[in-house]
Amino acid sequence: PLPPLPRDPKPQGSHAVQILRTYPAKKPPFPFAPNGERSIARAYHKAYERAQSLIYIEDQYFWSSEVPGILAQNLRNKPNLHLIVVLPRYPEKDGTFSAPPNVFGQIQAVEMIQEAGGDRAAFYNLENRLGTPIYVHAKVCVVDDVWAAIGSDNVNLRSWTHDSELSCSVIDETLDEREPKDPGGLGDGARRFARDLRLELWREHLGGDDAELVDPAQGFHRFKRVAQALEDWHAAGKRGTRPPGHARPHEPDDLPRWVRRWAGPIYRTALDPDGRPRDLRKANLF
């Protein structure tokens, strides 16, 4: 038998932390989750729906239509909402036959987001000072400087429904007094942990201090300027001093139509499977 559980520790700090999970609905079922568990999907869905100002994401894959489709719908419905996604420049598997299915899912997601959000949606990849691409393995999300999540899950159907994943969402009770104090405009108020996390990542990616970064709307445009300056420097043959920062605009490589014909089915069946029960699949719910 297992030993008795210890007493709950005394509350510490100012952070409310929720543990989120994904388990698939499978046969034989998990005894502790006979229909699977999709609390990661539900938490992200709720956070995306509440977003008003900025959703910031760092992700390893960013695939599928079902999951980014939620982001696209919110971009269509909210004209002041902005989205930044930081991704690897190249897929994890970059071979002749392994890369196209990986790229197919990302093309599908990026095109959907760009159609919905236009210039309010921006995608970037990262490189070091020598120009070597940095493989982004992070799974981070910050919404309106209020809600933040860090975990093992990617923004795709596989992580939200099929694989075993674990994530922590955090809301800090401590309000951040820097302007704008309530970027979402819903009365939540910016929270210290979420804002500090975003700013720490942005300082690392863009260089410099917090000028024009604290305000998510201003920071969105500074991110774009810094990344474009580095892209222009590369396009000009790297003449002169390298601009600051590590971010460059990201656009997945296009796939010829004949490649999409065989890459699409492989992507849907092998790379991004749906682990939801049948009734939830039909209703497209999580």
| Mean pLDDT over the full length of the chain | 95
Cis peptide before 28 (omega within 30 of 0): yes
Domain boundaries along the sequence of the chain = 15-271
> Are 157 and 67 within 8 A, CB to CB?
yes
End-to-end alpha-carbon separation of the chain, Å? Answer: 35
Q: Where are the alpha helices (DSSP H) in 31-164?
A: 39-50, 66-77, 99-117, 157
pLDDT in tens, 169-194: 999 999 999 999 999 999 999 999 99
Res 160 pLDDT > 90: yes
Res 1 pLDDT > 80: no
Token pair of 217 as six digits: 């709307």
pLDDT of residue 168: 98
pTM, to two decimals:
0.95
pLDDT in tens, 70-118: 999 999 999 999 999 999 999 888 788 889 999 999 999 999 999 999 9
Res 3 pLDDT > 80: yes
Band the pLDDT of 199: cuts 50, 70, 90.
Answer: very high
CATH architecture of 15-271: 2-Layer Sandwich (3.30)
% the chain with pLDDT above 90: 91
Q: Where are the alpha helices (DSSP H) in 125-191?
A: 157
Residue 120: DSSP 8-state: G
Band the pLDDT of 223: cuts 50, 70, 90.
Answer: very high
Other beta carbons less than 10 A from residue 216's beta carbon:
24
pLDDT of residue 108: 92
Residues with Cβ within 8 Å of 251's Cβ and at least 6 positions away in sequence, in order, are 110, 123
The β-bridge partners of 82 are 54
Res 277 pLDDT > 90: yes
Token pair of 266 as six digits: 């492989």
CA distance 54 to 178: 16
3-state class (DSSP) for residue 8: coil
H or E segment to which residue 40 belongs: helix 39-50
Stretch 244-265: mean pLDDT: 95
> Are 44 and 87 within 8 A, CB to CB?
no
